Chains A and B, each alone.
Chain A
């Protein structure tokens, strides 16, 4: 099944987002990744690549990202990864929840999961 990787500048934020998304995720693999590798705020392509690999079971990985360098470093990681991975242009938490639900659909594909994640862009709250 399609896996998910959640990339944030903060490792704790990534873990928290995964915690929220996992409630709806069934057996979906969701890997959190974040931080500069030395306990600080930031993102590192190698670590993102490892998270993509961990989330992949052969059907691909949708990558959710927060801001700026997380997008760029995820972009690098996707380029270097052997797994089929795509970045969803979506808000990281809402997108992760949507994607987690979409991934549990037996007919889910990499594209359908990404599309559902990106549908979170138009989500209204009030």
Chain B
């Protein structure tokens, strides 16, 4: 458990660093369709969150998530506070017994549900939901149906999120500041969805590092069929 907590702190630090690196890019995306504060708000929030996480004494994953979520809510000053941070506090309830494949799926689903509820947004509204939904669905399917190793499932989720971010470009914003632009929001990549992708990419990198493994090269859209093939083989064997 302690090891998991330390890995989660590492992940928060990696996210803070990444968001700081991408700050100008996120602000540029947000200045095209919003109020140009996403990069600055997220960078400030995650820097404070990383500091708060570092200050925790030997925390479990749930405590790290709660602390980070509360810090984001207090520091961000925009919609990303309740969406990224508030949902984290809420979903941390799924981590009572630490992180394993099962609790990670529950955490991801609860997080997405809270973001949808709080933002009153659905897929296709040109929001963070467009990145999170394919990521969470792909992760759940990879773990529960395909029974892939968690790291591979997470890699698939990241690939799915990347496709979700690309999906925000040719659609019209229905929520957030960009929705005030109407059709002029078409052709722009959503900053919040982009941030979610960066966060997931850093989670994957830190998870691979913690497991001392390479990041699996996967494609979210490729079906997983080896189990079916194995079942076919055994079925064929029974027929014989």
Closest B residue to A37 by beta carbon equals B77
Check A104 for interface membership: any CB of B closer than 8 A. Answer: no
From A40, A44, A67, A72, B74 is in contact (CB under 8 Å) with: A44
Q: How many residues of B contact A (CB 8 A)?
A: 19
Chain A residues contacting B177 (CB-CB under 8 Å) are: 67-68
In-complex Cβ contact of B81 among A38, A45, A67 (8 A): A45
B184 interfacial by beta-carbon distance below 8 Å: no
Q: Total number of A-B contacts with CB less than 8 angstroms?
A: 58
B68-93 interface bits toward A, Cβ cutoff 8 Å, 1 = contact, 0 = none: 00000111111111110010000000
Contact A45 B74 (CB under 8 A): yes
Chain A hits for B74, CB < 8 A: 37, 44-46
| A contact patch SS | loop
A35 to B83, CA, bound (A): 18
Which of B77, B80, B83, B86 meets A40, CB within 8 Å?
Answer: B77
- Is B62 on the interface with A (CB-CB < 8 A)? no
- The 18 listed contacts between A and B (C-beta, < 8 Å) are A37-B74, A37-B77, A42-B78, A43-B77, A44-B74, A44-B77, A46-B73, A67-B177, A69-B77, A69-B78, A69-B82, A72-B79, A72-B81, A72-B86, A72-B118, A73-B73, A73-B79, A76-B82
B residues bordering A, Cβ < 8 Å?
A: 35, 37, 41, 73-83, 86, 118-119, 176-177
Given contacts A37-B74, A40-B77, A69-B81, 17 further A-B contacts (CB under 8 A): A36-B41, A36-B77, A37-B75, A37-B77, A42-B41, A42-B76, A42-B77, A42-B78, A44-B81, A45-B73, A45-B82, A69-B82, A72-B82, A72-B86, A72-B118, A73-B82, A76-B73
